[in-house]
Amino acid sequence: MKRLHVHVSVDELASSISFYSALFGADPVVNKPDYAKWLLDDPRVNFAISRKDDNATGLNHLGVQVETEDELAEVYERLGRANIASQPETCARCCYAESDKHWAVDPSGIVWEAYRTMGAIAVYGEDRGQSIVEALAAAPAPETTPSSCCSA
């Protein structure tokens, strides 16, 4: 089953956590000094916020979180049918998780991430989304499906 993913960059994490916890009627399932995440079933969404000095405040990116490799391949194929190039990123270590991803940019310039999380990690990790999107804009990736190399 797929879940919509929304990631917002915020100015101040504590007050944002309070606001979104009240809005969603739930505490975050991940709460770190620079990041928080809610996995909601109503609506079915993975909503994340982060406080990073190098990110502008506002929408960071949108995405589709999947549960299986087959679902990730399906989203990747849909991007190809829409004639939208995507950039694969295997074994990404970002947002306290290890994931296989495909990054894309819609016709209006909104960054999208399709991903499958394999496990949690102890650190925020490296957010390579912007650099991958820049590379994608410069030279679209070939249409290949990457293999997964992440640990379960």
Q: Which domains does the chain have, with CATH numbers?
A: 3-138 (3.10.180.10)
Which strands sit side by side in the sheet containing 97-105, from one edge to the other? 30-32, 35-41, 44-50, 3-9, 58-66, 111-120, 97-105, 86-94
Q: Let me know: does 40 contact 26? Beta carbons within 8 Å.
A: yes
94-141 pLDDT, tens digit per residue, is 999 999 999 988 877 888 999 999 999 999 888 776 677 677 766 544
Q: Tell me, what's the pLDDT at 151? A: 52
Phi, psi dihedrals of residue 108, rounded to the nearest 5°? -95, 0
Beta strand extents in the chain (DSSP E only):
3-9, 30-32, 35-41, 44-50, 58-66, 86-94, 97-105, 111-120
Q: Following DSSP, what letter does each residue of 48-64 receive, concatenated?
A: EEE--TTS-SEEEEEEE
pLDDT tens digits along 41-94: 988 999 999 998 777 899 989 999 999 999 999 988 888 888 877 888 999 999
- Give 112-125 pLDDT, tens digit per residue: 999 999 999 999 88
40 forms bridges with which residues in the sheet? 45
pTM above 0.95, yes or no: no
pLDDT score at 34: 95
Residue 40 has pLDDT above 90, yes or no: yes
Is residue 104 classed as helix, strand or coil in its secondary structure? strand
Structure tokens at 55: 């990110």
